[in-house]
Amino acid sequence: MLPVVAENAAALIVGNELLSGKVAEANLVELARTLRPLGVRLTRVSVLPDELEVLVREVRQLSAEHALVFTSGGVGPTHDDITVDAVAAAFGVRAVEDPTLAGLIRAAYGARCTPAHLRMALVPEGAELALSPDGAWPTPVFRNVWLLPGVPEVFREKLATVRKWVRGPAPFVSRAVYTRLEEPLLKPLIDAAVADHPDVEVGSYTRWFEPSYKTKVTFDARDAANVERAAAAFVERLPAGALVRVE
Amino acid sequence: MLPVVAENAAALIVGNELLSGKVAEANLVELARTLRPLGVRLTRVSVLPDELEVLVREVRQLSAEHALVFTSGGVGPTHDDITVDAVAAAFGVRAVEDPTLAGLIRAAYGARCTPAHLRMALVPEGAELALSPDGAWPTPVFRNVWLLPGVPEVFREKLATVRKWVRGPAPFVSRAVYTRLEEPLLKPLIDAAVADHPDVEVGSYTRWFEPSYKTKVTFDARDAANVERAAAAFVERLPAGALVRVE
């Protein structure tokens, strides 16, 4: 199955602790910044509690509507770690012990290894393992669902495996134009850019508390020539003195 | 309509910039930490791009399935600010200029006020305004949907308005037990706590890179006596020397 070419992806971030505010969510931005340069469009992120039925329904829907799904969290040894069960149930298969993962866990924990440790070797039956580029812990992949851990330090490590095996049809190219004008004054120029360059995604971001510029206008597409054309046309239309810089 | 008592809530966080990784999402944790002490359970967060049809469908579903919905973002003056349109369309009403908001905008911008500025006065027809406790900018509320801005500094200010008008049936009470044991070794004790205290939400969080403890076990419920009982029973069952502290 691997490597994978995917136009878009969704993320399912699991954990009561994120919704109660006990822990600040930290994985969304890391995943977004991994997928973007690969050319994969992240089009939905759902953050949900540790509730089996809720997760089963979500996995089914996200998997059907997106080329790839990345789950974050719920893969530890305790009662509230139910992501593997949810993915398995979403597709009507069992959660079974993967022999490779079980071997790695036994090797890591030695005599201290318990049945609870081995819960971390469970995968939806039929899952593949995506190998890490540095030979570290592999990542279970079932159909189009990648099961990543929730602990941010470990999640970030696993993104190396994503970078190894996943890419989009072509990378995104991005230009940012920084201006001294407020968004409402730029609006006619931005509207013109949107109308003239339908293949380019135009974004407009006000910085309320930034002295060096007021509004950043971004131009994104998979076709670099289109991006350059849209950004150049926008810069040409700016009134004198409004431009800070282009990046 | 105000004040509001709500058992649960969802958040709809809008913005291409969050999904492309240009901007790190920062409002989820602030909303979670606002709702929790009020006793409102946050049960879903959806992060979605600036696409009208996607947002309309999500608003409709979140509003039907939750007591409250908080939107974040998409309320500025430019083409990609479509949250008001999406909420209006979700309920089959028009987006109209609110006279109070329009007056505030005219007062703030004076002679510099343009039609683009006045786009920020649009609300779904029939929306109420939730007044800020300090007399600052009010927050549009349509049915059970609160429209909050996406800029984190401004979003946080608006949470004072949420705190003024929203509460849950009763606040949550929480205890955290910090232990020196790894999660797999704690699992039988945690499973016993889950089985013995079905009204208490038990969470277990490993810190992989923290010297002072290995696992934090949390006990949460709206009934303080139940929480104290569950935490005390768990602490009693810990092996000697395993307890670090209770908070």
- DSSP secondary structure letters along A184-226: HHHHHHHHHHHHH-TTSEEEEEE-TT-SS-SEEEEEEES-HHH
* A32 part of contact set with chain B, CB < 8 Å: yes
Helix-, strand-, coil-residue percentages of chain A, each rounded to 5: 40, 25, 35
Calculate the average pLDDT of chain B.
Answer: 94
Is pTM beyond 0.90? Reply is yes
The residue written with tokens 């908001």 in the block is: B101
Instruction: Report the candidate in A120, A125, A127 with the shortest Cα–Cα distance to residue A142.
Output: A127
ipTM score of complex: 0.93
* B69 part of contact set with chain A, CB < 8 Å: no
- Position A136 scores a pLDDT of 82
Confidence tier at B78 by pLDDT (50, 70, 90): confident
Half-sphere CA count of B144, side-chain side, radius 13 A: 20
Two tokens at A190? 């931005």
Query: What digits encode the pLDDT tens for the residues B37-64?
Result: 999 999 999 999 999 999 999 999 999 9
Distance CA B114, CA A181 (A): 13
CA distances from B245 to A39, A195, B179, B235, B240 (A): 47, 61, 7, 10, 13
Confidence tier at B82 by pLDDT (50, 70, 90): very high
- Position A2 scores a pLDDT of 77
* B153 part of contact set with chain A, CB < 8 Å: yes
Count of A–B CB contacts within 8 Å?
A: 167
| Closest-CA residue of chain B to A204 | B78
Q: Is B174 left (phi over 0), alpha (psi -120 to 50) or beta?
A: beta
Confidence tier at B119 by pLDDT (50, 70, 90): very high
Rounded to a whole number, what is the distance in Å from the CA of B143 to chain A's nearest CA?
A: 23
Report residues of chain A scoring pLDDT below 50.
none
B35 contacts in chain A (CB < 8 Å): 21
- Position B1 scores a pLDDT of 65
Mean pLDDT of B105-110: 93
The shortest CB-CB distance from B45 to any of A35, A47, A209 is to: A47
Q: Tell which A residues from 80 to 99 touch B, by Cβ distance under 8 Å.
A: 80
- Position A1 scores a pLDDT of 65
Rounded to a whole number, what is the distance in Å from the CA of A143 to chain B's nearest CA?
A: 23
Backbone angles phi, psi at A94, to 5 degrees: -90, 160
* A76 part of contact set with chain B, CB < 8 Å: yes
